[in-house]
């Protein structure tokens, strides 16, 4: 919960405190009473967190465990033995030895009801058209703490309904309850002051500065932490109602940071990615670019297994395509001139299977394909825009092969590509044989003699190793759109079988193939990989960016509960997401 | 002069004793007298029934499992289909269970409306049974009289609920619709005709020599044995056991009603018929008392945690639309707990065992359909009777496939 020590009460205004991942001091436990129940609370806990330890929910809008305290919403007012007869904000008041907290007295309940009534005075009748509907704190708290008609008979205030804040975020001022979470996030986590409160009283609203859009690379997080439907993601807006999507864990493929995410999908289409809590990778945040990576899994896919280049290509089904690949490769086996290109977008299992296939064929050259480098910062964004460069390098080392850069492909007459990222399309035409295991259609797949549709990382079980050596598993979060589609390792294994080799038939066996050869993975099995991943100590780099979350000393796993505490929804700020 | 063994003079000379082997025949599942779809596997020794085993399941709809995947209010239409001849009684029984879990009391007018609607349903149920028993013994006229009376009442129910059979009329905290304007006069106007038609049936059957011969002393069961089998309702009271949930454990506003519990003496098919006839008259009394006593007022509680807000609020205020959204999408939040609620259904004690884990959907629901234990005694009731007695006995227990097979 608040194990990172992020609860800060320094000042009541946005920007007054800096929340940052810190190595926690040994907690000092104090005894408090919440509604008469004794609680052993961390001395750094505020009343909300202390109550949460015994499953008592104190409602709040503006408080966020990772942001400074604002005390804006007044929803968390409770009674304490320190101030009898008065209400104090549960977000700002910290526990102390022997403190008695009352969260269900008539005065507290009355305040909660009144608070909701006021929050809704100017709220538009928007649920039917609002993306937040179904995951909205106003809806939840209204039914829990108010559930009465409003007594206020004034016209609702009209405010801007669709302010484009930036490339990912659109703002509806009428729905905004001025909790200032977004303002504080930009100040304290993104460290780019791009949002502010303007105007006063009931006319106040959130705004960007003149001429400066909300173009931070972390702007999408403001949508996640917005407790209502005021800030919405333009990519997800009006795409799906939230109760129709299934949430399943995944790992972002946007860069080598390997942020833990939830992929939200309906049928075989992913609708959005949301951050999943992992204190040592991404805390509860992710970058805007990462949020869009699912599009490659939805769009422009290689749909069917096919043979033949360009106009002569024909969809033939997986068995004939694999037979054709075997037929083309068999005469060349062991004769030199075979190259294997492995993309850094591959899972470990796919890379290992490709190297195994190369071994069987007597491949002489190995290439590393990759998405081009991009920008980076000292928080979550890494310059290497591939999720598994470390894993492919580890697999290459395990198989004892030397990797060359893919764009300099030469001295090969046959090439097998495990995913096609970074391959030079213009140099592929002269190849005698080109077998591509590919996810998306592009200029490279047009040159392939055999094209085999590959599952995206979101569609298959597998494992990835991030930039600092964290081995994380991925899941089959969403079914593949086409029946022919298979994971890369399984295509390689099928070709291997066709060539007379013995192949593993499960992802766990594919992982074992690699683990048996690599000293770094010694003793690990795929089934036992924990959800939060484990750190391969030998791969840990020396240079850490200033802000980046890092493994805690003396252990591999994430501290604090990863499970959902009572009364919390999956994705709530204290359990797994940022909301 | 008769000479034994000589065919010319002895008419029985060529008669031989015919050895009879037990014969197994199916009655149903699709047979007009099978009241829905149920199969009886009957073993006959000549005309005598050696054994009759009911085989149920043709109307199994997975009530319990479906309920676990529905919000509390979405279960309501499933209860219509338990005893589909008296759906309001099922609606009421289920909703009372949910209200007991919440600790909620419906409005007083709603209580009266539920009793009123329930007793109309009970009359419909009994009319169906006594009409059919006449029909199946060859007295088609009585069936037409009974159906005419039932139609009159089903029309009133359609005016009240918007549907004849699948009414889904009760709500947590009340009922869905109030009596429409002029409905009370309409009902008071048609009730005498219903009684008149019931009396016609009475006149035609109750002292009819053929009917009495076919039903009296047939399918007899004693009170003690009936209790052992788990009988409730008219079939139990026909044996003389005075147990009616409405009197024994009064619920809703039954304690304010003046009515009597008719009792039989023999526990045979005839008593089960006469008892239902008399219960129709008692239900008629209750209906009139309900109409007289019913107070004005709201038909559903004004608490948006349980009752949907008025449409004006839903479309015109954020509070209303939020409450509506949460109630529809997530369901009413019912505290964790476990209750058994029992009411007097048309065929006996209708029990709902409901378990909540505090979510918007039931954790588990089981129904004690009154017809089930009675149907299980059918082999016992039928055994040893002539094959012609099977249909009247089966009719008199008024098996309803919906509640038995769920």
How confident is the model over B285-291, as a mean pLDDT? Answer: 92
Residue B23 lies in a domain: no
**Residue B340, token pair as written in the block:** 């058994």
* Cβ contact, residue pair B317, A148, below 8 Å: no
Q: Tell me the pLDDT of chain B averaged across its residues.
A: 89
Residue B110 lies in a domain: yes
How confident is the model over B331-335, as a mean pLDDT? Answer: 90
Domain span at residue B139?
53-405
Residue B22 lies in a domain: no
CA distances from A388 to A83, A380, A394, A471 (A): 55, 15, 10, 10
A113 contacts in B (CB within 8 Å)? Answer: none
* Cβ contact, residue pair B309, A149, below 8 Å: yes
Q: What is the pTM of this model?
A: 0.83
Q: Is B316 on the interface with A (CB under 8 A)?
A: yes
* Cβ contact, residue pair B326, A143, below 8 Å: yes
Residue B35 lies in a domain: no
What percent of chain B has a predicted confidence (pLDDT) above 90? Answer: 53
B102 contacts in A (CB within 8 Å)? Answer: none
Q: Which helix (H) or strand (E) holds A357?
A: helix A348-361
Kindly report the nearest CA distance between residue B319 and chain A, in angstroms.
Answer: 6
Q: List, for residues B163-196, the tens digit of each pLDDT value.
A: 988 999 999 999 999 999 999 999 999 999 999 9
Confidence of residue B1 (pLDDT cuts 50, 70, 90): low
Best residue of B326, B328, B331 to probe chain A, by most A CBs closer than 10 Å: B326
Residue A8: what pLDDT? 38
Residue A333: what pLDDT? 86
Q: List, for residues A244-290, the tens digit of each pLDDT value.
A: 999 899 999 999 999 999 999 999 999 999 998 888 898 889 999 99
A2: CB partners within 8 A, 6+ apart: A42, A44, A45, A46, A49, A65
Q: Is A333 on the interface with B (CB under 8 A)?
A: no
| Overall number of domains in chain B | 1
Residue A478: what pLDDT? 93
Distance CA A401, CA A395 (A): 9
Residue B5 lies in a domain: no
Distance CA B398, CA B271 (A): 13
* Cβ contact, residue pair A147, B329, below 8 Å: no
Closest by Cβ to B325, choosing from A124, A139, A150: A139
B326 contacts in A (CB within 8 Å)? Answer: 139-140, 142-143
Best residue of A148, A566, A567 to probe chain B, by most B CBs closer than 10 Å: A148
Residue A99: what pLDDT? 94
B307 → chain A, closest CA residue: A147
Beta partners for residue A60, in sequence order? none
Residue A575: what pLDDT? 44
Radius of gyration of chain A (CA): 27
A519: CB partners within 8 A, 6+ apart: none
Q: Is B30 on the interface with A (CB under 8 A)?
A: no
Best residue of B102, B303, B317, B321 to probe chain A, by most A CBs closer than 10 Å: B321
Residue A512: what pLDDT? 92
Closest by Cβ to A125, choosing from B304, B305, B318: B318
Residue A487: what pLDDT? 94
* Cβ contact, residue pair B304, A138, below 8 Å: no
Best residue of A125, A134, A141, A230 to probe chain B, by most B CBs closer than 10 Å: A125
Residue B145 lies in a domain: yes
Q: Is A165 on the interface with B (CB under 8 A)?
A: no
Q: Which of residues 328-387 of B touch A (CB under 8 A)?
A: 329, 333
- Helices (H), ranges, B162-268: 183-205, 209-215, 223-229, 233-237, 245-248
Q: List, for residues B81-119, the tens digit of each pLDDT value.
A: 888 888 999 999 999 999 999 999 999 999 999 999 999
A125 → chain B, closest CA residue: B318
Residue B25 lies in a domain: no
pLDDT in tens, chain A (579 residues): 333 333 433 333 343 344 444 555 667 889 999 999 999 998 888 999 899 889 899 999 999 988 999 999 999 999 999 998 899 999 999 999 999 999 999 999 999 999 999 999 999 999 999 999 999 999 999 999 998 898 888 899 999 999 999 999 999 999 999 999 999 999 999 999 999 999 998 899 999 999 999 999 999 999 999 999 999 999 999 999 999 999 899 999 999 999 999 999 999 999 999 998 888 898 889 999 999 999 999 999 999 999 998 788 899 999 999 999 999 999 988 888 899 999 999 999 999 999 999 999 999 899 999 999 999 999 999 999 999 999 999 999 999 999 988 777 778 889 999 999 989 888 888 889 999 999 999 999 998 999 999 999 999 999 999 999 999 999 999 999 888 999 999 999 999 999 988 877 899 999 999 999 999 998 899 998 988 888 888 888 888 888 888 886 654 444 444 444 444 454 455 444 455
Beta partners for residue B175, in sequence order? B170
ipTM above 0.95, yes or no: no
- Return the CATH fold of A121-238: Alpha-Beta Plaits (3.30.70)
Q: Is B320 on the interface with A (CB under 8 A)?
A: yes
A148 contacts in B (CB within 8 Å)? Answer: 304, 319
Best residue of A129, A142, A242 to probe chain B, by most B CBs closer than 10 Å: A142
Edge-to-edge strand list for the sheet holding A163-164: A163-164, A169-171, A231-233
- Return the CATH fold of A2-119: Ubiquitin-like (UB roll) (3.10.20)
Beta partners for residue A89, in sequence order? A77
Give me the architecture of the A299-535 domain, per CATH.
3-Layer(aba) Sandwich (3.40)
Distance CA A223, CA A171 (A): 9
* Cβ contact, residue pair A243, B329, below 8 Å: yes
Residue A504: what pLDDT? 78
What is the residue extent of each domain of chain A?
Answer: 2-119, 121-238, 299-535
A242 → chain B, closest CA residue: B329
Does residue A24 contact residue A7 with C-beta atoms inside 8 Å?
no
Residue closest to B165 by CA, chosen among B121, B119, B115: B121
Q: Is A150 on the interface with B (CB under 8 A)?
A: yes
Residue A25: what pLDDT? 61
Kindly report the nearest CA distance between residue B71 and chain A, in angstroms.
Answer: 15
A149 contacts in B (CB within 8 Å)? Answer: 304, 309, 313, 317, 319-320
Cβ neighbours of A574 (radius 10 Å): 21
Q: What CATH number is associated with residue B320?
A: 1.10.645.10
Residue A553: what pLDDT? 62
Q: Is B313 on the interface with A (CB under 8 A)?
A: yes
B325 contacts in A (CB within 8 Å)? Answer: 127, 133-134, 139
Residue B15 lies in a domain: no
């Amino acid at each position: 919960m608040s194990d990172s020590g992020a609860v800060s009460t320094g000042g009541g205004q946005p920007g007054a405190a800096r929340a940052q991942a810190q190595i926690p001091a040994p907690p000092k436990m104090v005894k408090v009473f919440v509604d008469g129940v004794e609680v052993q609370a961390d001395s750094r806990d505020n009343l909300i967190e202390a109550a949460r330890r015994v499953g008592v929910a104190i409602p709040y809008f503006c408080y966020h465990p990772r942001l400074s305290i604002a005390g804006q919403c007044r929803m968390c007012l409770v009674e304490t033995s320190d101030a009898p007869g008065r209400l104090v904000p549960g977000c700002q008041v910290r526990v102390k030895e022997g403190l008695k907290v009352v969260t269900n007295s008539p005065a507290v309940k009355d305040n909660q009801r009144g608070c909701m009534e006021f929050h809704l005075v100017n709220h538009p009748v928007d649920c039917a058209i609002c993306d937040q509907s179904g995951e909205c704190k106003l809806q939840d708290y209204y039914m829990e703490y108010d559930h009465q008609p409003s007594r206020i008979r004034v016209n609702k205030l009209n405010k801007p309904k669709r302010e484009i804040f930036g490339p990912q975020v659109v703002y509806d001022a009428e729905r905004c309850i001025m909790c200032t979470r977004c303002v504080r996030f930009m100040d304290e986590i993104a460290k780019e002051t791009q949002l502010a409160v303007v105007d006063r009283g009931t006319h106040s609203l959130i705004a960007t500065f003149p001429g400066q859009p909300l173009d931070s690379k972390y702007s999408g997080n403001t949508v996640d932490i917005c407790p209502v439907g005021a800030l919405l993601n333009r990519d997800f807006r009006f795409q799906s109602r939230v109760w129709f999507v299934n949430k399943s864990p995944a790992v972002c493929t946007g860069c080598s940071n390997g942020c833990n995410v939830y992929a939200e999908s309906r049928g075989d289409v992913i609708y959005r990615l949301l951050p999943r809590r992992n204190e040592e990778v991404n805390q509860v945040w992710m970058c805007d670019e990462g949020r869009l990576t699912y599009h490659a899994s939805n769009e422009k896919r290689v749909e069917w297994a096919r043979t033949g280049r360009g106009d002569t290509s024909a969809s033939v089904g997986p068995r004939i395509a694999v037979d054709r690949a075997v037929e083309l490769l068999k005469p060349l086996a062991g004769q030199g001139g075979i190259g294997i290109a492995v993309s850094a977008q591959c899972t470990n299992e796919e890379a290992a299977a490709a190297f195994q296939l190369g071994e069987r064929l007597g491949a002489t050259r190995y290439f590393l394909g990759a998405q081009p480098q991009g920008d980076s910062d000292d928080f979550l964004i890494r310059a290497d825009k591939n999720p598994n460069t470390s894993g492919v390098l580890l697999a290459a080392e395990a198989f004892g092969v030397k990797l060359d850069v893919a764009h300099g492909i030469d001295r090969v007459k046959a090439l097998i590509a495990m995913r096609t990222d970074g391959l030079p399309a213009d140099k592929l035409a002269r190849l005698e044989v080109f077998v591509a295991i590919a996810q998306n259609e592009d200029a490279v797949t047009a040159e392939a003699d055999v094209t085999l549709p590959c599952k995206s990382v979101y569609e298959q079980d597998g494992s990835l190793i991030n930039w600092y050596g964290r081995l994380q598993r991925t899941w089959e979060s969403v079914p593949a759109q086409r029946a022919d589609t298979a994971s890369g390792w399984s295509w390689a294994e099928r070709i291997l079988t066709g060539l007379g080799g013995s192949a593993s038939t499960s992802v766990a066996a594919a992982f074992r193939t690699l683990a048996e050869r690599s000293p770094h993975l010694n003793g690990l099995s795929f089934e036992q990989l924990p959800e939060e991943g484990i750190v391969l100590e030998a791969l840990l780099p020396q240079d850490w960016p200033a802000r980046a979350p890092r493994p805690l000393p003396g252990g591999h796993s994430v501290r604090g509960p990863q499970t959902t505490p009572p009364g919390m929804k999956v994705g709530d700020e204290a359990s797994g997401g940022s909301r | 002069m008769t000479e034994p063994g000589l065919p010319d003079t002895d008419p029985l000379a060529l008669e031989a004793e015919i050895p009879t082997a037990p014969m197994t025949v199916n009655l149903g599942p699709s047979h007009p007298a099978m009241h829905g779809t149920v199969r009886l596997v009957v073993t006959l020794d000549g005309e005598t029934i050696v054994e009759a085993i009911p085989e149920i399941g043709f109307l199994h709809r997975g009530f319990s499992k479906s309920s676990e995947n529905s919000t509390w209010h979405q279960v309501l239409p499933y209860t219509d289909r338990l005893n589909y001849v008296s759906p309001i009684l099922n609606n009421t029984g289920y909703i009372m269970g949910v209200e007991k879990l919440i600790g909620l009391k419906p409005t007083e007018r709603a209580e009266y409306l539920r009793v009123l609607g329930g007793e109309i349903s009970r009359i419909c149920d009994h009319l169906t049974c006594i009409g059919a028993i006449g029909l199946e013994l060859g007295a088609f006229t009585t069936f037409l009289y009974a159906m005419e009376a039932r139609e009159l009442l089903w029309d009133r129910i359609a005016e009240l609920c918007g549907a004849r059979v699948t009414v889904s009329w009760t709500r947590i905290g009340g009922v869905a619709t109030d009596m429409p304007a002029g409905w009370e006069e309409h009902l008071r106007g048609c009730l005498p005709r219903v009684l008149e038609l019931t009396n016609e049936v009475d006149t035609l059957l109750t002292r009819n020599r053929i009917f009495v011969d076919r039903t009296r002393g047939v399918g007899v069961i004693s009170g003690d044995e009936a209790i052992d089998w788990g009988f409730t309702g008219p079939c139990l009271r026909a044996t003389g056991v005075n147990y009616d949930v409405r009197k024994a454990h009064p619920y809703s506003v039954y304690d304010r009603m003046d009515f009597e519990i008719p009792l039989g003496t023999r526990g045979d098919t005839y008593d089960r018929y006469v008892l239902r006839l008399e219960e129709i008259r008692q239900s008629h009394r209750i209906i009139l008392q309900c109409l007289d006593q019913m107070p004005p007022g709201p038909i559903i509680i004004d608490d948006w945690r349980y009752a949907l807000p008025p449409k004006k609020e839903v479309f015109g205020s954020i509070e209303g639309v939020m409450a509506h959204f949460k109630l529809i999408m997530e369901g009413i939040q019912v505290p964790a707990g476990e209750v058994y609620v029992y009411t007097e259904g048309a065929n006996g004690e209708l029990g709902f065992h409901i378990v909540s884990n505090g979510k918007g959907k039931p954790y588990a629901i089981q129904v004690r359909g009154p017809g089930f234990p009675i149907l299980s005694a059918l082999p016992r009731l039928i055994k040893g009777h002539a094959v012609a007695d099977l249909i009247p006995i089966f009719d008199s227990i008024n098996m309803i496939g919906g509640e038995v097979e769920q």
